[in-house]
Amino acid sequence: GENVEQHPSTLSVQEGDSAVIKCTYSDSASNYFPWYKQELGKRPQLIIDIRSNVGEKKDQRIAVTLNKTAKHFSLHITETQPEDSAVYFCAASEFNKFYFGSGTKLNVKP
């Protein structure tokens, strides 16, 4: 099955700085890579996703890059704000199933 690894597990940045979270996956058949933000005790919320036929996607302060050859993808958040503080999960999807990374707790210090 798919194995998704995510780094770092925790990340502290100063407000206004950028944050980068990286994930690797093992199954070359995976073709969809979403990123979720989860606040404590709440449901995961999709923040951005990318399909395997695209190398980069951007939505305002958030961007995702995908390197299919190396089987890794990254989340980039620019101009971080305190409300960006949460746990972020990457996932790799092979057809229907999602396999999640272990999560990154992002702390944005004001």
Partner 1 sequence: GAVVSQHPSRVICKSGTSVKIECRSLDFQATTMFWYRQFPKKSLMLMATSNEGSKATYEQGVEKDKFLINHASLTLSTLTVTSAHPEDSSFYICSARYDGRSYNEQFFGPGTRLTVL
List residues near partner 1 by CB under 8 A.
1, 31-32, 34, 36, 41-46, 49, 51, 89, 93, 95-103, 105
Q: Which is nearer to partner 1, 20 or 99 (CB)?
A: 99
The CA radius of gyration of the chain, in Å to the nearest whole number, is 13
Q: Which is nearer to partner 1, 41 or 110 (CB)?
A: 41
CA angle 53, 43, 11 (to 5 degrees): 70
Task: Reduce the DSSP state of residue 6 to 3 states and report it.
Answer: strand
Q: Which is nearer to partner 1, 14 or 40 (CB)?
A: 40
CA angle 38, 68, 100 (to 5 degrees): 25
**Shortest Å, Cβ 32 to partner 1:** 4
**Shortest Å, Cβ 89 to partner 1:** 6
First to last CA, the chain: 41
**Shortest Å, Cβ 36 to partner 1:** 8
